[in-house]
Amino acid sequence: GQNIDQPTEMTATEGAIVQINCTYQTSGFNGLFWYQQHAGEAPTFLSYNVLDGLEEKGRFSSFLSRSKGYSYLLLKELQMKDSASYLCAVRDSNYQLIWGAGTKLIIKP
Amino acid sequence: GAGVSQSPSNKVTEKGKDVELRCDPISGHTALYWYRQSLGQGLEFLIYFQGNSAPDKSGLPSDRFSAERTGGSVSTLTIQRTQQEDSAVYLCASSLGTSGRFTQYFGPGTRLTVL
């Protein structure tokens, strides 16, 4: 079967750095996405990785290792507004997105 | 339109009633997806439309669920004889395509409560 694993919840301090990990086992791989979802709102796109390595976009970076079936989302200079759930999703060989259950990130002052 | 829109935003219904949920995708987006999200859970794929191809219905949980997409644009998700376990947020997303960097853009969702 297909599986995406992420930690259920993480806590970090405002101004700090946090890394959210995602491991996946899917039938084929055609890219990995990270989405942010604030409570009661729809998910919004953060990043896309299809090749190994680090993609940086402002305070957010995403890393991919296809051989290890592993990705992480790195958030720097954390702000209170970063409190949200972060969803990892993998596009499989049928070009369907397989979604993880999400990691709830709690930011403390 | 500027984004994906869904209606109604909230729907409360009685067990056994039928409901229809509507999704207006971003203009020009050929792919349209329906998901379900229960409180604190991840996204559960329901159905996917791509252009004029037959929809991928592999995620529909039972034959009480059906969806159609008219004219390659607006989509309606219908749930017949609703059950309490159908209570969830139903999210619609659209994208320009299904490969490469084509990302899914989500609507605000319809919160369905079955009493």
Alpha carbon distances (Å) from B74 to B21, B24, B28, B77, B90: 11, 5, 11, 10, 15
Q: Which residues from B are below 8 Å from A30, CB to CB? A: 99
Q: Do A42 and B99 touch (CB under 8 A)?
A: no
Q: Do B103 and A87 touch (CB under 8 A)?
A: no
Q: Do A45 and B104 touch (CB under 8 A)?
A: yes
Selected for mutation to probe chain A from B6, B48, B106 (highest A CB count within 10 Å) is B106
Q: Which two tokens stand for residue A13?
A: 């301090």
Q: Which residues from B are below 8 Å from A31, CB to CB? A: 100-101
Buried residues in A60-78 as b, exposed as e (16+ CB within 10 A): bbbbbeeeebebbbebeeb
Q: Which residues from B are below 8 Å from A41, CB to CB? A: 108
Contact at 8 Å (CB) between A87 and B43? yes
Segment B36-70, tens digit of pLDDT: 999 878 899 999 998 888 888 889 999 999 999 98
Q: ω before B8 within 30° of 0 (cis)?
A: yes
Q: Which amino acid is at A19?
A: Q
Buried residues in A20-38 as b, exposed as e (16+ CB within 10 A): bebbbebeeebbbbbbbbe
Q: Which two tokens stand for residue A25?
A: 């086992």
Calculate how close chain B gets to A43, using CA atoms only, in Å: 6
Each residue's pLDDT expressed in tens, for chain A with a length of 109 residues: 789 999 999 999 999 999 999 999 999 999 999 999 998 888 999 999 999 999 999 999 999 999 999 999 999 999 999 999 999 999 988 888 889 999 999 999 9
Output B102 or B108, whichever has higher pLDDT: B108
Alpha carbon distances (Å) from A59 to A5, A72, A82, B83: 23, 14, 11, 43
pLDDT at B94: 94
Q: Do B103 and A33 touch (CB under 8 A)?
A: yes
pLDDT at B1 over 70: no
Q: Which residues from B are below 8 Å from A39, CB to CB? A: none
Calculate how close chain A gets to B44, using CA atoms only, in Å: 8
Of the partner residues A31, A91, A100, the one whose CB lies closest to the CB of residue B42: A100
